[in-house]
A and B are shown apart, each in its own frame.
Chain A
């Protein structure tokens, strides 16, 4: 624990002024920040003589058709973003965990292979990887547009998440391995029943940010003409000239999704902690 010296604080007008104390301090800071961004937006729209037409936006989010609520184009794009992120997530975990296990294995070839994969992926841009897989590898091994994008995304995120998995696995105390070993558990059972359940709890926070990164990175698939949220926004923006409104809306949708996700996970963490 941190030891703080107990020095009698000097009387200071500023520190004792009510507006410089919480919660007022935080409220004022927030308002100042919000005001600054508002001013920035105002400035850019007046400079560009931008005419805000927010009323035209809702139909791109949700529409009422024959008395039914249907998804507008942006939400349709979001659903596709969910789909491709979800499928990529499964492969991300497979690649990530597989690579982590290979790196920790006794096999020289396995360790070499995983190192090669990691360095290759982490030292080239994702966009280049997507293009390479879509234009070069895809046609060779017969992957369609969608599968190429899934492969590229999950190879990329898999490399990063493998480091998270590895850190989680090596963080498990040596005694756990030894106890499992001396009970006669196989390597597979050891990982399934002892190591991974404990590691997962520890790596949940970095793993969540990896999932969030995956959702954000999935925007790049718009570049191979897959109609995710970003591509829909791009098309709408150029069709309607509602550039500001559309992009703000798209950003807000991404934000809602990612913030919701991290909130759910931090709630989950709290429940896990009760036991361990």
Chain B
């Protein structure tokens, strides 16, 4: 499938646990390693802790224990480390979360200007490149409310990409979309995967997983139940829970 070269480990998750106030343990002693240019798909039933795990990876949630290292930087209490990781890790949300008072172009420009300290001109150049890449350059001056869900999600991807992240996290990026818009977003993500972006994607889109993922984690109840390639999951899943889940989504 892929001729791309996988590099050294860029994300190391070691024994991470997260319990929410109220006692729900969303992630339990989770460990994994992800290589540069790898595309990892995470699947699992609702409430299994997929979002929580993903959100731990860029510091949106604070794990209670365990360590996370991204591109050599530990995600610890040091504010500089956290900022560095926020800059290097792009996140795409289920609900897009575009800034509604800014145009598509301004959405993509903002962090480049404020965080990367670029001039408006430089930022705009980069933004237009990214908007072109996601196929939506002609909507640069539209406000989010004037865009369809699929278009909004593509702008959100462009916004994350414009920061030149080393890792991209996607949390169910297509599950808030109408069916006819899912593919336009998945196509953008597939291209990104082929270009060698390191991606961690929570999704149940099997077509996407089949085409570009290097491996899949099936998690339930905050833990890894089974890992393997997509082929493995299709042909001979080991665990009963995995079989049950796959029979429900396929």
- Which A residues contact B (CB, under 8 angstroms)? 173, 175-176, 178-186, 189, 193-194, 197-198, 201, 275-276
- Which B residues contact A (CB, under 8 angstroms)? 58-60, 83, 86-87, 89-91, 93, 95, 97-101, 110-111, 114-115, 143, 145, 156, 159-160, 163
Give the docked Cα–Cα distance between A201 and B59 (Å): 30
Contact count A vs B, C-beta below 8 Å: 64
B58 lies within 8 A of A179 (CB): no
Give the docked Cα–Cα distance between A173 and B93 (Å): 13
Q: Is the interface of A mostly helix, strand, loop or mixed?
A: helix
Set A176, A193, A275, A276: member contacting B110, Cβ < 8 A: A193
B87 lies within 8 A of A184 (CB): yes
Give the docked Cα–Cα distance between A181 and B82 (Å): 10
B114 lies within 8 A of A189 (CB): yes
Q: List chain B residues, Cβ under 8 A from A276.
A: 100-101, 143, 145
Give the docked Cα–Cα distance between A57 and B193 (Å): 80
Q: List chain B residues, Cβ under 8 A from A183.
A: 86, 110-111, 115, 159-160, 163
Give the docked Cα–Cα distance between A139 and B91 (Å): 56
Give the docked Cα–Cα distance between A23 and B59 (Å): 61
A-B contact pairs, 12 of them (CB 8 A): A181-B59, A181-B86, A182-B90, A183-B159, A184-B111, A185-B115, A189-B114, A197-B101, A198-B100, A275-B101, A275-B145, A276-B145
Set A178, A179, A181, A182: member contacting B98, Cβ < 8 A: A179
B101 lies within 8 A of A182 (CB): no
Set B91, B95, B114: member contacting A182, Cβ < 8 A: B91
Centre residue among A180, A184, A197, A275 by max chain B CB count within 10 A: A184
Q: List chain A residues, Cβ under 8 A from B86.
A: 181-184
Q: List chain A residues, Cβ under 8 A from B160.
A: 182-183
Q: List chain A residues, Cβ under 8 A from B98.
A: 179
- B90 nearest CB neighbor, chain A only: A182
Give the docked Cα–Cα distance between A197 and B143 (Å): 15
Give the docked Cα–Cα distance between A194 and B89 (Å): 20
A194 lies within 8 A of B99 (CB): yes
Q: List chain A residues, Cβ under 8 A from B145.
A: 275-276
- B91 nearest CB neighbor, chain A only: A182
B114 lies within 8 A of A186 (CB): yes
Q: List chain B residues, Cβ under 8 A from A182.
A: 58, 60, 86, 89-91, 160
- B94 nearest CB neighbor, chain A only: A175
B95 lies within 8 A of A175 (CB): yes
Set B101, B111, B114, B143: member contacting A201, Cβ < 8 A: B101
Give the docked Cα–Cα distance between A275 and B101 (Å): 7
Q: List chain A residues, Cβ under 8 A from B83.
A: 184
B93 lies within 8 A of A175 (CB): yes
Give the docked Cα–Cα distance between A52 and B39 (Å): 87
Give the docked Cα–Cα distance between A185 and B110 (Å): 9
Q: List chain B residues, Cβ under 8 A from A189.
A: 114-115
Centre residue among A173, A182, A194, A276 by max chain B CB count within 10 A: A182
Q: List chain B residues, Cβ under 8 A from A176.
A: 97, 99
On whether A178 and B60 interact (CB within 8 A), knowing A184-B163, A197-B101, the answer reads: yes
Give the docked Cα–Cα distance between A42 and B73 (Å): 82
B97 lies within 8 A of A193 (CB): no
- Further contacts, 5 of them, CB under 8 A, given A182-B160, A184-B87, A185-B110: A179-B91, A179-B98, A179-B156, A181-B60, A276-B100
A178 lies within 8 A of B163 (CB): no
Give the docked Cα–Cα distance between A178 and B99 (Å): 11
